[in-house]
Amino acid sequence: MSTATWISVDGQPLETYAVETSLATNEVTCWIPSEAGKEFSVHCQNTSAPGLNTIGAFVYIDGQGCHGSLFERWNVNHTVEFSHAFVSDRITKSFVFSNVQLTGISARCLVIDSVPHCYADEDEFVDASSANLGQIQVRVCKVTVGEYYNPAQNQLQTEHKVHERSKKAVTHCVGLGEETIIPQTMLRKTQSIGQPLAKFTFKYRDRNLLKANGIIPGPAPLKRKAPQEIIDLTVNDVQAAGSSRSNDPIRGEQNPQRTRETERRSKKVKQEQKPGVFVEVIDLT
């Protein structure tokens, strides 16, 4: 089976970085930039030839199973899209990147034998930024289809607290945005058969954080052009009256009525440029 998966914002696929592929387990892991307040959609396309098996794609948000969709069995290149989470059988809310809540050191006090004992509880939320927070995962599986159920059972937990100590690791989570009223809907339960046929994991982080960690490469350094050499061919000819130095540089026409004569002659410098090679031609004519 062949599938393609991507995440889009404002109708455009997000660029992926540091893509890792495991052919042994059919897993793909990559990084994408997230921006707080931006809604997003998850897309999965079945590019395989038609088959007899029932295949479904299932979305996991920050480690939580959200919902899935079945591919049309005989429709090649059928694409399913996930952009909302159910909050009831008639109301959905859009996926949106959000800021995590930060918590500092708290304190608890116990009274033992009339003596208060207080201690810091800084580790209460340290583990909240688990490996699953900051991840969107799509699993493609063979499935069997069961009975119908109310989609409100798929409530998505969007309140995430992260200790300040973990702030640099995870700053975004998935929240819920605009509300949409839909016709009353029932979903079908599905049961996966065997291991996933494919698994796609998108690790989302703030763009600046990805740049700081070298996941998004910085701009290529600008190549500085070699400074052009300036050749000064100006000659100052100075003739001093009554000079006894026979080796003084004297050029031009001599006039015995002048006590001092200065002549400047400018020489033209031309440059001819070839790709990668600079050739200087000095024209002394």
SS (H, E, C) the chain: CCEEEEEEECCEECCCEEEEEECCCCEEEEEEEECCCCECEEEEEECCCCCCCCEEEEEEECCEEEEEEECCCCCCCEEEEECEEECCCCEEEEEEEEECEEECCCEEEEEECCEEEEEECHHHCHHHCCCCCCEEEEEEEEEEEEEEECHHHHCCCCCCEEEHHHCCCCCEEEEEEEEEECCCCCEEEEEEEEEEEEEEEEEEEEHHHHHHCCCCCCCCCCCCCCCCCCCCCCEEEEEECCCCCCCCCCCCCCCCCCCEEEEEECCEEEEEEECCEEEEEEECC
Range of the domain at 14: 3-96+131-152+169-212
The band of 44, judged by pLDDT with boundaries at 50, 70 and 90, is very high
Residue 10 belongs to a domain: yes
What average pLDDT does this structure show over 240-262? 47
47-61, 113-127, 212-226 — most confident range: 47-61
- Please give the share of the chain, as a percent, with pLDDT higher than 90: 37
Please report, to the nearest 10 degrees, the dihedral formed by the alpha carbons of residues 24, 26, 31, 33 taken in order: 170
The model's pTM is 0.68
Amino acid making up residue 240: A
Residue 44 belongs to a domain: yes
Residue 104 belongs to a domain: no
Please give the tally of structural domains in the chain. Answer: 2
Lowest mean pLDDT segment, chosen from 32-41, 76-85, 116-125: 116-125
Amino acid making up residue 171: T
Q: Which of 192, 109, 186 is nearest to 153 (CA)?
A: 186
Per-residue pLDDT, 284: 34
Q: How crowded is residue 155: how many other Cβ atoms within 10 Å of its Cβ?
A: 13
Q: Indicate whether 262 and 147 sit together in one domain.
A: no
Q: Indicate whether 177 and 71 sit together in one domain.
A: yes
Query: In this structure, are residues 58 and 35 in contact, taking their beta carbons and an 8 Å threshold?
Result: no
Q: Which of 140, 52, 159 is nearest to 100 (CA)?
A: 159
Residue 239 has pLDDT above 60, yes or no: no
Residue 159 belongs to a domain: no
Residue 218 belongs to a domain: no
Each residue's pLDDT tens digit, 222-238: 766 666 555 454 444 44
Each residue's pLDDT tens digit, 111-169: 455 555 444 444 444 444 466 889 999 999 999 999 988 877 667 776 666 655 555 57
Residue 219 belongs to a domain: no
Q: Indicate whether 142 and 32 sit together in one domain.
A: yes
Q: Indicate whether 190 and 277 sit together in one domain.
A: no
Residue 109 belongs to a domain: no
